[in-house]
Structure 1
């Protein structure tokens, strides 16, 4: 299907070469669902939770900072946590001043990570939309370049490099399960595969942003609740990715908070991988039976974020 979008394979390849010196090629863990107490099914887990800053977001951050002109005022971003940490990390690596706005829902682990990268951290409002409005006002006032978490061409293309990397690692997969918040990750990944693989969206029931948009035929306001609200609960899915979603995402599945918690616990117990709720959402669709693969179907799951304090040491 032909889609009018700047998220093209050519631009993703160009951006991948640009950001490659600054990102990790994250590993793939091959497991069987029997490891999680489920019927036999081989599954490939793409561990993007082991990326710098603990999430895929660093790809889009470097794509923006290396692909756009950055003013002396530096950059500003709004985030539930992971995007802010990624922009702060990339800005520090490149010597760029950075201010990050987060809402009160942001977890302490994510707020502390943003501070640890030397960013100026500002708390603004109770949800991501509040922080975004504050960051936009700051950009207008100071001239700082705004780096959007998902509704920005460079962000989408940067996240699309993960699709390219997955195809290098797993050329024979049939299906990729991807967690969705604003849609930057799945928009980039779906843009890369462009219908060559089955792309399935997974969202929490408390924040069905893409699910509602697909039903309505356009982005609409959605609830912003649930255990993964700090990473998967913007008010609306991004407008830039939505045509890509309509063309290349097979469907959107909803999972419960309890299913997400089970996926977190299962990853820890079976593989000693600690992830945040948003990072476990895609696997929750398999563990909870929300997605049932066909016989012989080769499935990959994106494990996309690890910024959590769920594991206590000592």
Structure 2
């Protein structure tokens, strides 16, 4: 297993400079991160939203995909057959976009049951879409066979050091804009974003809070077991955070100093997503809202692993990682409420 290092992050940052959009940050007003149900004494903290959903293809995944392909380009190992991946989600979109940027073919495998809108978006980025089987596992098997027979470069949604290192460049940009940053809060699925961000954060003495839905907790379970294990997946955020197993790379990062694993219930994820819409007219994925939900979850709960409460004077950045969502379930409310 490749143990991600800060050097990997720095190399990735140099490699993708000018090829991705620098993250924008927006301060939250005092008390906005505080929930009205919390009757504990208010603590003074600075909370910033890292608006990574404004990245190319609508999520942080563009960073890792660009780093992955550019690294192979630099090493002259990017084949004429291009790149292939099995993913109809953010990773597939990012892979297709990065391939288009690099001028190489992208072949994306999806189950035949995938929504047509996903296939259409992939084709907009120039990808060839192949529909195979009725489940993701069948599409993945076809993708692996395609890579083996054509020589196409096989990419992965999260479990690759170049993918994780690219994601970790996000932390470098955040800390430059928030001097004295204490904590970064990030949602976790398979662990690519978390591994990269936590590795960079540890180098700078910054705490990482890894947030997962209560019933979608691959990393939290791996920490308890001491090894990656398969977990059941059942969450409103499962479309982005529904990895059945965290990567060994993510577990290693989680076992280092300065990392805290917390859980949030689906009800709080839904509330946080709605609040972002009500207060900022920001429509994000449930995965992105999960990170913000960590600041208001577990109110009055004795569960030590539920939610995260910043301390007095703490400077916190919350990563809003993606916005590839259907906004029709966001309830419009009168202005000012």
Structure 1 residue corresponding to 2:318, chosen from 283, 297, 301: 301
Structure 1 residue corresponding to 2:6, chosen from 2, 9, 19: 9
Who is 1:29 aligned against? 26
Distance of aligned partners of 1:35 and 1:128 in 2 relative to their CA distance in 1, 3 Å threshold: farther
- Kept in 1, the 8 Å contact 2:33–2:295? The answer is no
Structure 2 residue corresponding to 1:48, chosen from 52, 57, 67: 52
1:126, distance to aligned residue in structure 2 (A): 6.3
Q: What CA distance in whole angstroms lies between the structure 2 residues aligned with 1:308 and 1:109?
A: 12
Structure 1, 264-273 or 34-43: larger mean CA deviation: 34-43
Distance of aligned partners of 1:105 and 1:12 in 2 relative to their CA distance in 1, 3 Å threshold: farther
Who is 2:65 aligned against? 61
Q: What CA distance in whole angstroms lies between the structure 2 residues aligned with 1:226 and 1:126?
A: 21
Q: What CA distance in whole angstroms lies between the structure 2 residues aligned with 1:288 and 1:208?
A: 16
Structure 2 residue corresponding to 1:240, chosen from 249, 272, 278: 249
Question: Normalising by structure 1, what TM-score?
Answer: 0.90
Structure with higher Rg: it is 2
Distance of aligned partners of 1:37 and 1:211 in 2 relative to their CA distance in 1, 3 Å threshold: closer
Who is 2:161 aligned against? 153
CA RMSD of aligned residues (A): 2.4
1:119, distance to aligned residue in structure 2 (A): 1.1
1:8, distance to aligned residue in structure 2 (A): 2.0
Q: What CA distance in whole angstroms lies between the structure 2 residues aligned with 1:62 and 1:52?
A: 10
Distance of aligned partners of 1:163 and 1:131 in 2 relative to their CA distance in 1, 3 Å threshold: farther
Who is 2:304 aligned against? none
Q: How does 1:267-278 map to 2 (within 5 A)?
A: 267-278=276-287
Question: Normalising by structure 2, what TM-score?
Answer: 0.84
Structure 1 residue corresponding to 2:15, chosen from 14, 18, 22: 18
Distance of aligned partners of 1:37 and 1:61 in 2 relative to their CA distance in 1, 3 Å threshold: same
Q: What CA distance in whole angstroms lies between the structure 2 residues aligned with 1:242 and 1:312?
A: 34
1:194, distance to aligned residue in structure 2 (A): 2.1
Structure 2, gaps ≥5 residues long: 37-41, 299-306, 331-337
Structure 1, gaps ≥5 residues long: none
Structure 2 residue corresponding to 1:227, chosen from 216, 230, 236: 236
Q: How many residues align?
A: 310
Cα deviation digits, residues 159-200 of structure 1 (max 9, x gap): 111111112112311111110001000100111122611111
Structure 2 residue corresponding to 1:171, chosen from 179, 188, 205: 179
